[in-house]
Structures are given as structure tokens and as C-alpha cells.
Amino acid sequence: MVRKFLTIVVALLAVAAFAAVKISVLCSPDNADALKWLAGEFMKQNPDIQVEIVPLSWEVLYPKLLQDLRSQAGSFEAFTYDVMTTGAVSFGLEDLGEFMKKYANLLPADFDIDDFIPQVLEESGKWQGKLIGLPFYNNTMLFYYRKDLFEDPKLRQAFKEKYGRELTLPVTWEEVKEIAEFFTKKFNKNSPTEYGIALMFPRTHTLFYMYLLFFGEYRNAPLGIMKHGTADLEYGEYFTADRKPAFNSEEGLKALEMMKKLMPYSPDPLGSDYGETIEYFNQGLVAMVPQWTGPYLIFKSTVGAAKVGIIPMPGRSVSGQWALAINKFIPEDKKVAAFKFITFATSKWADKQKFLRFAVAPARMSTLKDPEVRAADPRVPALEVTYVSQTHRPRIPEEPRLEDITVETLSKILAGTLPLSMDTLNDLAKKWQEVLGK
């Protein structure tokens, strides 16, 4: 009887000793499939840690992060955060630099922090000198076009007859405008597509980053740099080097003028967002679309890989990176478990696998250089160019408020209910200065 009792006690102690630590990882839906697969692979190697991946839409994820971190509730252990929310959530993120020193033995053998693309690590992983996140989803905007149409001999000849030049891949928005006109039936009855380009200028946070696709080209031109200075990664291209609004300028006006010029060649630009523009391209309604890295898999399966071309954004792209971080307000054992998972999920091996399997854009130089990756995905050459030239949104804590008032003003300008004038942009700049307390 005693022996039986002791056997039960030993068994219970063994179960208790090996009870899995449970962690929840909140993430954007764009990251979810890759993270779920990586969590499965991680748990095979770490049966003492149970990882739950919880996808939440952007509109829900960000407020939930802020609410939990401010209350120090610790209802989740790790999460992905959008680069533009870095400053707002930074107070609640674990200092990974210090954590790595303390638990260096827990790092995967192939982790190598120096392998991250330097600009990406700086922008999505660091805040005020501290490492608070690890780059996971190195999202950026690319320019997709109908390769089969651009290469069609009859269309090329018709374009040359109409515009007196070859139908080449655009490198400026002025060139995009000409091509978009050619592929819009209203202006060319023989166009194979109804519209030339799919644009998303809705009154949402989408407009805040879409504006930078146009403003970035002028803001970072030699004259723009002379006037505004080089932007830093905390404030981004919306600001001057001395951290004042830069958009209330000739460059800011030019950007909005170009956006308005392109609108006649797009289906419902003020009413379309992410999902709608993807569908326009899928359905063959448009010949071109600026979009994030993720939709490539959709285009590949619906339009066909042979028909989809990919080039860097005309002018400048805009970054949209996501990093993995650890909640600062959780017990140490949970932090250790979360640390083991996020370093596994951002290792060299994981970075390559998530790109090949789920098209989640890479954050590591080794992935971009990998022969298998380069042969498997046509986005790689465009990504290499884009990562070192893209523009950036503000990452400061005031970003959400700045975004709200900016989207309201820009949408009214594009809709024609506010004048496209320096006075309008100066009024917006004053509102920014009120928010910033300057």
C-alpha cells in the first residue's frame, strides 16, 4: 500500500515537474499562419512550453495591446506590433538586449542578431537605443503589374504610337500616370482592362501610408533633402530633420497633386481599401496595383505567376514591418518561455521557412541571399532595392492622433471639399504642433 502510494506521489511530481508553461502570442492575421506553423515546430522541440497563437485584426490588436500594457494585466506573453506603433507600446516591452545577456544560453544556435537587415532591425526592433523587438514580418509595398499585358507586342506598339515612347516599367509616378491612362477604357477604348491602376485612398489609416508613396519621392529628392534634411527613423518622412512637419511645403503639394492626377484611372479610389484593390487586380479590372508583400500569393494563385510582374515602387516605397516582443509585465518563467519562442521564430531557419512556405517577407540578409529563396520567389530583387530606400511613418507615441487628423484632412482634399493649397497644409501642420505640444 505504501509502495503504491509512493508510486502515485512520484508520478504526480513528475507530471508537475514537466507541466507545460503556457504562453499566448497575439498577432496580426497577416502573420498568423506562419506563426501557427512555427509554434507547432517549436513545441515539437520544446514540449514543456505550450504556445497559443491568437490572431486579431489591426483595429482590435493595437487597442488591446495598449489597454493590457497600461494596466499591467499580463493577459498575454508575446505579440507582434506594427512598426508605426513602436513608440506607443515601447514602455511595456521587455528589454531584449538585457534579456539576451542574462539568458544567452537560450538563444538558438543559428540566431545571429547581426544577420538581420540593419535598417530593419533598427526600425522595427529598436527604440531609443534599446532592443525591444525582433523583426518578424518585414512588410513593404511593392508595385504589381500585368506582365503579360506589358509584354504584348500589339499593346506595346499601340502605346508607342500614342505616346511616342516604349511601354517600359515605370520608375516615376509621372510614367505611371501615362501608363494608367493607356490602360483605362475611358481614355483608350482598346484597353484590355477597364482601369489602369487600383488605388486605395480611403479615410482610414491606409491613406496615411499611401500618401508617403508620393510624398517620399519629393521629400527625399536632392532639393527635398536640402530643404527638410534627412529624416530619422523615430519621426519618419512626415517630419523635417529638426522634427517639424515637412508636408506643408511644395513637396507636400506635389504629392497630393499627383494622387489627384491618378484618381481618374482607378476604380473608386476614395472608397477602396486593401481588400478591394486586391480584388480589382485579381479580376483583371486593372493593369497595375501598389500593394504590400502578402498579396503576391493571392495574385499568384488567381491571376497566375506568369502574368504577375513585380518591381520596386515608383519613387519610394513605405515600410510596414512587424516585430515580435515580450510583455514586460509577466512572471519570469513566462518571459523565458516567450523569449525561447520569439528567438526561435526569428532565427535564420525560421526566417527562410516562413518566406518559402507563407510568403512572409524576410528580415534577414541570409534569407535574401539564399539560392533556394532567390529561385523560388520573384519578389526578392524588388525587396532588396526597397528595403534600403523606403520611406517611414512616424513611430512616436503621438502617431495615432496625428494619423487621425491627417487622414481627415487629406481625404477632404482628395474629395475636393477642402482646397489643395498651402493654407490647408499649414492648418494641418498647426494641428500637428498642438498635438506635439510645440
Residue range 330-351: mean pLDDT, rounded: 97
Distance CA 20, CA 35 (A): 19
Whole-number pLDDT of residue 20: 86
Number of helices followed by number of strands (H, E) in the chain? 21, 11
- pLDDT, one tens digit per residue, over 136-192 is 999 999 999 999 999 999 999 999 999 999 999 999 999 999 999 999 999 999 999
Q: Strand 195-197's sheet: what is its strand order? A: 195-197, 286-292, 141-146, 308-311
Residue 19 pLDDT: 67
DSSP at 125: I
User: What is the chain's mean pLDDT, rounded?
Assistant: 93
How far is residue 314's CA from residue 322's CA, in Å, rounded to a whole number? 23
Looking at residue 110, its pLDDT comes to 92
pLDDT of residue 341: 98
Q: Which three cell numbers stand for residue 202?
A: 480611403
Residue 228 and residue 243 in contact, taking contact as beta carbons nearer than 8 Å: no
- What are the φ and ψ backbone dihedral angles of 232, each rounded to 5 degrees? -105, 170
Residues 413, 340: contact at Cβ < 8 Å?
Answer: no
Rg (CA), the chain: 24
Task: Name the band, by pLDDT with cuts 50, 70 and 90, for residue 10.
Answer: very low
CA angle 82, 57, 344 (to 5 degrees): 55
- The x, y and z cell numbers of residue 316, run together, are 519610394
With cut-offs at 50, 70 and 90, classify the pLDDT of residue 39: very high
CA distance 228 to 226: 6
Average pLDDT estimate for 93-109: 95
Instruction: Please say if the pLDDT value at position 17 is more than 70.
Output: no
CB 413 within 8 A of CB 420: yes
| pTM listed for this prediction | 0.90
- Phi, psi at 216, each rounded to 5°: -60, -35
**Burial degree of 229 (CB within 10 A; 0-12, 13-18, 19+):** middle
Q: CA neighbours within 13 Å on the CB side: how many for 286? A: 28
Average pLDDT rounded to a whole number, residues 196-204: 97
Q: How far apart are the first and last CA of the chain?
A: 79
Q: Which of 140, 19, 132 is nearest to 78 (CA)?
A: 132
Distance CA 305, CA 374 (A): 15
